[in-house]
Amino acid sequence: MKLVSAVIKPFKLDDVRAALSEVGVQGVTVSEVKGFGRQKGHTELYRGAEYVVDFLPKVKLEIAVSDDQLDSVIDAVTRAAATGKIGDGKIFVTPLEQVIRIRTGETGEEAI
């Protein structure tokens, strides 16, 4: 099992959710986060004053998947989140040792 964490632009969330549903993903955890990468933020003008926005708003998705779903999930997120512009985001894949469904006590892939 793997944990796929994707940091994407907020306005792409609905597109990514729809793409994940198409490939059979049943559960996603979504968090509103802030951060920066190569963009290193930007400057904005507000009421005539210029200020620096260091941390840009992003959305972080966490998806627990079986090993055989991994490639299709990565492909779905990549296709749906891409705009072709800087700041599209990143996907991180980490091993997932154990999953337990609290309600039923199921473990492993049955809990996903």
Residue 44 pLDDT greater than 80, yes or no: no
Higher pLDDT, 112 or 16: 16
Q: What is the mean pLDDT of the chain?
A: 91
Residue 109 pLDDT greater than 80, yes or no: yes
62 forms beta bridges with 5, 29
CA-based Rg of the chain, rounded to a whole angstrom?
17
- Residue ranges and CATH numbers for the domains of the chain are 2-33+59-111 (3.30.70.120)
Residue 86, amino acid: I
Residue 51 pLDDT greater than 70, yes or no: no
pTM of the model: 0.85
From its phi and psi, is residue 63 left (phi > 0), alpha (psi between -120 and 50) or beta?
Answer: beta
pLDDT tens digits, one per residue of 69-104: 999 999 999 999 999 988 899 999 999 999 999 999
CB 88, CB 81: distance < 8 Å = yes
Structure token pair of residue 47: 């009421």
